[in-house]
Amino acid sequence: MSEIFQPTVESLSVSPRTAGEMLGYGKTRIWALMKSGELKSYADGGRARRILTSSIRDYVARKVEETRPPKRRGPGRPKKNTAT
């Protein structure tokens, strides 16, 4: 018997609740990020909103870049001589 090929489909958008679960944020923070434009969303019918998964990835990438430690330029300061 042959295997059935089932392609993996990634969602293009998710609900604010799902976005919150993905990021570990509460609904208030998710809505604030949507309002500020950090997470791109659109109206899906009446009151429902959907958040683009690409904007979630971009948001995380920006946060990672912001929290990277600065590169060291040299060996640093020499250690103090504690022996007397």
Return the pLDDT at 68: 76
Return the pLDDT at 7: 57
> Residues 53, 12: contact at Cβ < 8 Å?
yes
Return the pLDDT at 5: 57
* pTM for this entry: 0.69
Return the pLDDT at 37: 96
**pLDDT tens, residue order, the chain (84 aa):** 456 655 567 889 999 999 999 999 999 999 999 999 999 999 988 889 999 999 999 999 999 988 877 676 766 677 777 766
